[in-house]
Amino acid sequence: MILPGNATVTETTSITMLPAAPLHALEIWGNPQAVATRVHKALGFALPVMNRSANNAATTLLRFEPTVWLVEGDVSVLADTLGDDAALTAIGGGIVRFRLAGPHWRELLLEGGVFDTSLAAFPVGAAAATVIDHVGVRLWAQSEDACVAYVPASYAQGLHHFWDDALPLLGT
């Protein structure tokens, strides 16, 4: 029997490879205000500003570059709204998504990472493009307890192994 106050609870950080999802690059090269207006009307939310995200129940947009957004989820409503000013390119086959969850996911990203993962610098809803262990990755602070990492498929297994090896260093 464990007496009250004598139990030790250890919170762990987990690394989970997520199932494949529809991923597209949305690139806008002409008439950005008109495209933004059409996208807002189609999705019910505005294109996110640099290094931020926005979403509805079916679609999430992450902005990492001045004219490029990562789109996860249903893009059917977008395809007809872009006109000749933008394009959607399917990239899902080349990207693996990982969910880093638990109390130490921010510290885990610092292992081999080169950016400030603090809550102040990388709040919930933030998006970042960075390098971890010599590989370009995209990150989305999904919640206070989790981050989604978008990793090139060619390096997914190596980065997963790198993170697995780093976990014991965090005391998780």
Is the pLDDT score of 8 beyond 80?
no
Report pLDDT for 12.
82
Q: How confident is the model at residue 85 (pLDDT cuts 50, 70, 90)?
A: very high
What confidence tens digit (pLDDT) does each residue in 114-146 have? 889 999 999 999 999 999 989 999 999 999 999
Whole-angstrom Cα distance, residue 80 to residue 111?
42
Bridge partners (DSSP) listed for residue 143: 146
Length of the chain, in residues: 172
> What's residue 170's pLDDT?
83
Q: What is the pLDDT of residues 18-47, one digit of tens each?
A: 999 999 999 999 999 999 999 999 999 999
Residue 2 has pLDDT above 50, yes or no: no
> Please, which residues have CB within 8 angstroms of residue 142's CB and are 6 or more apart in sequence?
99, 124, 148
pLDDT number for residue 171: 66
Distances (CA, A) of 140 to 27, 51, 130, 143, 171: 19, 9, 11, 9, 24
pTM: 0.89
CATH number of 7-20+93-169: 3.30.1360.120
Question: Is the confidence at residue 4, as pLDDT, over 90?
Answer: no
pLDDT-derived band at 7, boundaries 50, 70, 90: very low
Domain boundaries defined on the chain: 7-20+93-169, 23-92
Which CATH number does 23-92 carry? Answer: 3.30.70.1520
